[in-house]
Structure 1
Amino acid sequence: MRQIFLDTETTGLEAERGDRIIEVAGVEMVNRQLTGRNLHIYINPERASHEDALRIHGLTEEFLSTKPKFAEIVDELLEFVAGAELVIHNAPFDIGFINAELKRVKRGVLTDHVASVRDTLVMARDMFPGKANSLDALCRRLEVDNSKRQLHGALIDTTLLAEVYIRLTRGQDALLVDDHGDSAAGETQAAVEAVDLSRFELPVLRASELEAAAHAKLLTDLDKAAGGACKWRVLEPAQPVA
């Protein structure tokens, strides 16, 4: 599955009142591995940022005045996200701003160009009800190092979000970029001598009641994170071995 972790920075909080996107970034993940393909663009919003927003992102009007306008980067953005599942923290905010920009250049809405959108804020609220679920709070809770996040920046935020997502959905504790590819791995794989396991009497270690309960809870958490789509919930239970 191809996923794009996406984030924006803006001049303020209200797209419907003329606030604009000033930075957009995305990182690509395929089958739960980062590919190393990223998108990071600063945008001239043709207006100043609100003081509160400027304190958060630190991108001045002078710095942004030399950057391309949204109409100049829209094709690059849409090509990057085309056909992917977008993963966004507080998706309605970012999608609302991108849709406002797309409307200005008559390019439809974002969901016309992508497969689907997944909101990690909704996922986190389901998993940690009643707790703080900002990106910083999730980094602390899930032990993701966010020490380099001095100011809010779209690229660092998308990278952190990818780490958080992997830990929210379990099954993998860290992100890896495959630098070698399947062919290289095949070329360097050493020959392994076959061993006849029939000569061994292998012990069977059965789970204790406590371990079985912990496993059942883990499956429930995974099913919740997947939105109830886990297949084992609809399969017939396996028959015990005699």
Structure 2
Amino acid sequence: MPAGVDRVAVVTGGSGGIGRAVCERLAQDGTAVVVAYSGSADRAEDLVGRLTAAGARALAARADVAEPDQVAGVLDAAERAFGGVDVVVHTAGVMRLAPLVELDLEELDALHRTNVRGTFVVSQLAARRVRPGGAIVNFSSSVVRLSLPTYSAYAASKGAVDAITRILALELRGRDVTVNAVAPGPTATPLFLDGKPEEVIERMAEQSPLERLGRPEDVAEVVSFLAGPARWVNGQVLYVNGGLA
């Protein structure tokens, strides 16, 4: 079932970075969009204003992705406003970088809470709500395969996302709902850029055969494919990194 005016998407982490680009692309596809955010209400409402001004249907809703009641509230809002949920895109995540021997375990717990528990909660509730012909799209990372120093905790959390995604796809047999994950490489977002020296960013950009960082729009294009026309792609982790890995 292709994306279109009758489809409704919930995008977690939708107020910034890749999530914002995903919301914009799905709106361009004709999909009603719920911008789910946890931090900045101003950014979320600004995005909703821009989308609606362009003729799209959109609303903002707040949720901590690790809290089932709050995630259920976002899905409820989507159903009340637009009649149902066809697509759930889970972009929300956090990154903590440090050598394994130095990482504070409280930082590890915080990472696990958002990236693993959050993915589990969103996937669980999405699986209960998404209508036939719909799609669940989680977010992994290319660092699962790259095995970069200081990324052990983050890569481990995204490895868990891969497992959740593949198994849920099998468990939804007979539902006509696809479950996939997108694994971006280095992408020019605050999550990637913040705290990195310019020389590190330039070196990582040069590693791709395309010799640049990814753009949020590059990733959103793949999400659009998985959210709409890609009905025969299921249980997969798609690496979106310009050929880096």
**TM-score, L = length of structure 1:** 0.26
Larger Rg: 1
**TM-score, L = length of structure 2:** 0.25
